[in-house]
Chains A and B, each alone.
Chain A
Amino acid sequence: MRAIIAGAVALPKARFGSVAVFAPDEDAFTLAVEAADRLPGIDTSRVETLHLVGPLPSSLPDAFPDALGTRTLGAIRYAPGPAGLWAAVEAANAGSKPESIDLILAFDPGRSPIGSSAPEEDTALAALAVTEGVGLRLTGRTITTSSSSRPRRSRTKGSSRPARPEDVSGTLPPIWIRRELVQTPDGNGNEAQGRPNLADRAAGPGPHRPNLLPIIEALREIGAGRGTPDAVALVDPLPLGAETVTFESTAPIAWTSPLEPASSRGMQSESAALDRTGSVPAAISEGAYVPRSTYLANRPSRWRLAAEECGACNAISFPLRGECRTCGRSDRMRRIELPRQGLVVEASTTIRPGAQPTEVDHQVAQTGPYSVLIARAHPSVRITVQLTDSPAGAIRMGDTVDLVLRRVYPMEGEWRYGLKAIPAAREGPPPPRVPTGPHDDPVGRTRETPLSKRPKGSRSPRQAS
């Protein structure tokens, strides 16, 4: 069993100073995809079940399979925050065949859900990916305030009975978990059976707002060699009444952050970025129109360079068109993906403010000039992409770039996503941080202390008393 965790987090300036961690064209969706892409040693196309933990506009959950290249039909959605993550991990444990891969993506939007008109909230944006579904197990400690199925409500009303701590460890009782899960893609499956719906509670009124920051912080500490290397303690008031959840891994946790400080990415300050990423810009009255159906149909090519190889003449057709662009045959087309790393730049220009199409006015107002490149993805395929995460003009002809999924343009109240270019990583994705603490343990070696062998009552140092 393996447990690999990759995460990304954006922290509000008010709490963490001026470390910029995400770019204006990133959001919960693109960070989650990037986190999944950076899972070491995992081919996301092999993922069989997707678990999504976090709020998303209705258009996006179905977008994950296209973004990750999975063959899954959709995704199981969970409420935002640790409770949802907990439920997702448990579901992955319970439902997986030993050899199957479950992918859990968790994220909090830093701002209002895309497309909503709700006021912006100053909270964290995070993405967390967990793979090999059987690799993580849970222990936890819940505090329920009553036998009511709605503990939070009674607590926030201030009329609750005294808290009743309840330890939970190992694998949580299936019945208990299932009762709390939102297990169907539409989020309503359990409710239809008369069971409490976690999403309802998480979204309900009250001062609590779940977020993933404590998990991310704990993972970061582990990655840096501080803290307990094989466990993540989470101290967070959970909507379902749990106060402490400990994620324990049966293998070392590799922490990689796809995000680096602002200075090394050439981006603006984090506060500037935060100020500018919240919501979809107002409708563009003057701009090219791409019907949503056309955008959706082209998504596999736009997002993962899906192309077709003709078995008759060996020509590559890109984007997908169902028929060979060279010989016209359609009976021997094989779907492939062109590489998204190490593309050689063949042409480059920098668009100065005023020369941009109206669709990217919002972007120019935020970040000024930008470069557009034509890069070669295959001897017979070029692609036109914007450069991101780098100052305009930073890439020249002959340089190599990698392609990443980012926001491209807003249309009809939603963000449309596509590939952009970043300077190519010299030797593949950045390696996980090397642990330096007393629990130093090379990443990737299997730990010999599975959860079941740990002493009873063993707790992370960060666990609340």
Chain B
Amino acid sequence: MVGAGHTRFGALAEGPRALLRQAVDAAVTSVDRGFDRSSIGEGFLGTLGFSGWQLGNSSAILAEEARIPRVPVSRVENACASAGFALRAAIRAIESGAQDVVLVAGLEKMTDAPSTRRRYWLGVSGDTEWERLAGLTFAGVYGLMASVYLAQHHVLPEALAEVAAKNHAHGALNPNAQFQKPVTREQVLASPFVADPLRLLDCCPVTDGAAALLLAGEEKAHAFTDTPVYVAGDGAGSDSLALQDRGSLTSLAATRRAADEAFRRSALDRSAIDFLEVHDCFTIAELLALEDLGYAPPGGAAALELSGATRLGGSRPVNPDGGLKAKGHPIGATGASQAYEAFVQLRGSAGARQVRGAERALTHNVGGSGASATVTVFTV
């Protein structure tokens, strides 16, 4: 990774094209020795196509706005993991030798849709017939998982509230975050229920934003910068669309498989990772992620969070950028945003939220309620 760009996240005035342009421009500008767009051989756009503004062929917009008009581009869609899988496609394109330089972008423009259209789109990536039409959106599906998790492991809602409080504290240090204001556990626990036991402050917001990454093969990378960030290994996995069809209600098999593959490819131990960017669309998702990624035993993530180990300054910070919870979750952009955080952190340029001495990072991107997931390990 030789360059990475990020727009502000939040309810933004810019439209989707402008967001894409901003992110790509920022990625180009971030390249230390300058970057000629004509070196890009292929592009991948992660986007759900939220609100249907350009549902088909939307990758053409990436070629236009990145000013690479004849370069082949493809849209990769795996719901919230779209950009994670776009990154994976880019890694394969370079690894295979087919391309030297590849552009990855993630984009979603969500806040300008009317509320009914938004609620429609917020659930399109779950199982339609059995889950959605039983009355579930993702808040409901994660609410089901949380109900089982709390009961099975005798965990109090405090642990969920701590995830939100911690990520808001981190988000307060991130100038790109949608929410840059701390909240207390008490505030989380006093917020209204959305899908019991999940409350409003357990849920990520609706967000506009884009992020872009420039990847180059190892030999080419040093032409762009002396301090590239390396992809040490990546992994991905799938699972049933509907929660009811999965083996466990409190573990994502897709994440487990993705993590195993990523660590195998990178030949690194889990203990070598300095910080994690995990997919916390709901607070419960961060607990499940820590367990499925192998950083806590089943039920053990709650205690890990409450111990403070996952805060900045702790032994292994989780979501130093504020996570989906505070930074925001523009669906198709999130996977690229997580990789952007690895880029700035591992180059020591994360500012107030810098994880001291960070040399290895893991990003974890989940599609829907766990039907797809990617894990990527980055090193300096």
List the interface of chain A (C-beta within 8 A of B). Answer: 285-288, 290, 294, 298, 346-352, 354-361, 363, 370, 372, 374, 382-386, 393, 397, 408-409, 416, 418
Contacts and interface: CB of A to CB of B under 8 A. Distances in A.
Nearest to A349: B143
Contacts of A397: 147-148, 151
Given A355-B195, A386-B135, A287 B144 contact: no
Contacts of B124: 288
B135 A357 contact: yes
A328 B137 CA distance: 31
A346 B249 contact: yes
Nearest to A347: B144
B130 A383 contact: yes
Closest 4 A/B residue pairs (Cβ): A349-B143, A286-B120, A347-B144, A382-B244
Nearest to B51: A286
Contacts of B244: 374, 382-384
21 contacts: A288-B123, A290-B128, A347-B145, A347-B147, A348-B147, A349-B144, A349-B146, A349-B195, A350-B196, A357-B133, A359-B132, A361-B116, A370-B135, A372-B135, A372-B136, A374-B243, A374-B244, A382-B244, A382-B245, A384-B134, A384-B242
A409 B134 CA distance: 9
A298 B129 CA distance: 9
Contact of B249 (A285, A347, A357): A347
B119 interface: yes
B157 interface: no
Contact of B130 (A350, A358, A384): A384
B134 A385 contact: yes
A288 B132 contact: yes
Nearest to B118: A286
A348 B143 CA distance: 8
Contacts of B128: 288, 290
Given A356-B137, A359-B133, A361-B116, A349 B147 contact: yes
Contact of A374 (B133, B146, B151, B249): B249
Nearest to A371: B196
B113 to A, nearest CB: 9
B192 A347 contact: no
A351 B144 contact: no
B158 interface: no
Given A288-B123, A355-B194, A374-B249, A349 B133 contact: no
A382 B195 CA distance: 20
A348 B249 CA distance: 11
Given A298-B129, A408-B134, 13 more contacts: A285-B116, A347-B243, A351-B137, A352-B192, A355-B195, A357-B123, A359-B132, A361-B116, A363-B135, A374-B243, A383-B130, A384-B136, A416-B133
A356 B135 contact: yes
A408 B133 contact: yes
B117 interface: yes
Contacts of A350: 143, 193, 195-196
B132 A347 contact: no
Contacts of B148: 346-347, 397
Contacts of B147: 347-349, 397
B192 to A, nearest CB: 7
B293 interface: no
Interface residues of B, number: 37
A357 B193 contact: no
Contacts of B119: 286, 356-358
Contacts of A408: 133-134
Nearest to A298: B129
Contacts of A355: 137, 139-140, 194-195
Given A346-B148, A350-B193, A384-B242, A357 B129 contact: no
B129 to A, nearest CB: 6
Contacts of B32: none
B140 A349 contact: yes
B120 A351 contact: no
Contact of B133 (A286, A290, A346, A354): A290
Contacts of B140: 349, 351, 355, 372
Nearest to B152: A397
A201 B105 CA distance: 68
Interface of B: 116-117, 119-120, 123-124, 128-137, 139-140, 143-148, 151, 192-198, 242-245, 249
A397 B140 CA distance: 15
A406 to B, nearest CB: 11
A195 to B, nearest CB: 44
Contacts of B243: 347, 374, 384
Contacts of A356: 119, 135, 137
- Residue among B120, B134, B195, B249 facing the most chain A CB atoms (10 A cut-off): B134
A356 B139 CA distance: 9
Given A361-B116, A384-B242, A294 B129 contact: yes
B338 to A, nearest CB: 26
Contacts of B242: 384
A384 B131 contact: yes
Nearest to B113: A286
A408 B133 CA distance: 7
B188 to A, nearest CB: 16
B116 A358 contact: yes
A361 B114 CA distance: 15
Contacts of B151: 397
Contacts of A416: 133
B204 to A, nearest CB: 13
Nearest to B137: A357
A352 to B, nearest CB: 5
Contacts of B132: 288, 357, 359
Given A290-B128, A372-B144, A351 B136 contact: yes
B283 to A, nearest CB: 14
B134 A386 contact: yes
Contacts of A409: 133
Contacts of A370: 135
Nearest to B123: A357
Nearest to A294: B129
Given A298-B129, A372-B135, A384-B136, A358 B120 contact: yes
A455 B193 CA distance: 68
Nearest to A345: B147
B109 to A, nearest CB: 17
A357 B137 CA distance: 6
A384 B127 CA distance: 11
Contacts of B245: 382
B132 to A, nearest CB: 5
A416 B139 CA distance: 24
A94 to B, nearest CB: 42
Given A383-B244, A393-B196, A397-B151, A348 B144 contact: yes
Nearest to B247: A380
A187 B119 CA distance: 43
Nearest to B150: A397
Contacts of B137: 351, 355-357
A383 B130 CA distance: 8
A286 B117 contact: yes
A346 B117 CA distance: 31
A287 B124 CA distance: 9
Contacts of A285: 116
